[in-house]
């Protein structure tokens, strides 16, 4: 084992880097990408400087792994910006605060309103069909309403 470690070549590092990159393709979520790049970098350095001792190769591999991971983590944090469409996947949130006419009466706390071409389930005080209501909140697909004057 010691003999193998003392004679690591750039091919070994490139093979390790390639293996890690292949494993990344199978869904590691970006973690193995940076370690694979670090292994390939050590392979390039070992090609350029074939007399690098194996201990230094492993130290470089560890340092490159940490540096590339920290670089990507910092880049991801600075690249994150608030969405210009914050309600994109919350369909009913754009209805909060708007007024509608009841499509079906609210009986036992549940009824329906029509918003555009969609019927929405609503909860609120019992009211007859045709009454004006204001959407005051949302609970999943159920809109909370109150009587509007």
What pLDDT band is residue 1 in, cutting at 50, 70 and 90?
low
Superfamily designation of domain 94-147: Nucleic acid-binding proteins (2.40.50.140)
**Which is more confidently placed, 81 or 62?**
62
- From 135, 124, 148, 147, select the one nearest 91 (Cα to Cα): 135
pLDDT digits (tens, 9 = 90+) for 24-58: 888 877 788 889 999 999 999 999 998 889 889 99
The encoded tokens of residue 82 equal 């608030």
Whole-angstrom distance, CA of residue 18 vs CA of residue 111: 60
Ranges in the chain annotated CATH 2.40.50.140: 94-147
Tell me, what DSSP letter sits at residue 30? T
The encoded tokens of residue 25 equal 């393709």
What pLDDT band is residue 87 in, cutting at 50, 70 and 90?
low
What pLDDT band is residue 90 in, cutting at 50, 70 and 90?
confident
Nearest 5°: phi and psi at 64?
Answer: -65, -40
What pLDDT band is residue 88 in, cutting at 50, 70 and 90?
low
Please state the pTM of the whole predicted model.
Answer: 0.53
The strand pair at 99-107 and 132-139 is best described as antiparallel
Residue 79 to residues 33, 73, 82, 133, Cα–Cα distance (Å) = 19, 10, 10, 42
């Amino acid at each position: 084992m010691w003999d193998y470690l003392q004679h690591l070549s750039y091919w070994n590092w490139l093979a390790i880097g390639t293996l890690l990159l292949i494993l990344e393709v199978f869904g590691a979520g970006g973690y193995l990408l940076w370690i694979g790049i670090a292994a390939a970098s050590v392979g390039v350095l070992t090609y350029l400087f074939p007399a690098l001792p194996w201990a230094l190769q492993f130290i470089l591999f560890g340092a490159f792994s940490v540096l590339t991971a920290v670089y990507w983590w910092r880049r991801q944090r600075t690249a994150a910006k608030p969405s210009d469409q914050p309600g994109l996947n919350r369909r009913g949130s754009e209805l909060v605060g708007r007024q509608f006419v009841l499509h079906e009466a609210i009986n036992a706390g549940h009824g329906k309103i029509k918003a555009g071409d969609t019927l929405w389930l609503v909860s609120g005080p019992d009211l007859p069909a045709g009454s004006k209501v204001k959407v005051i909140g949302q609970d999943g697909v159920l809109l909370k309403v109150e009587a509007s004057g």
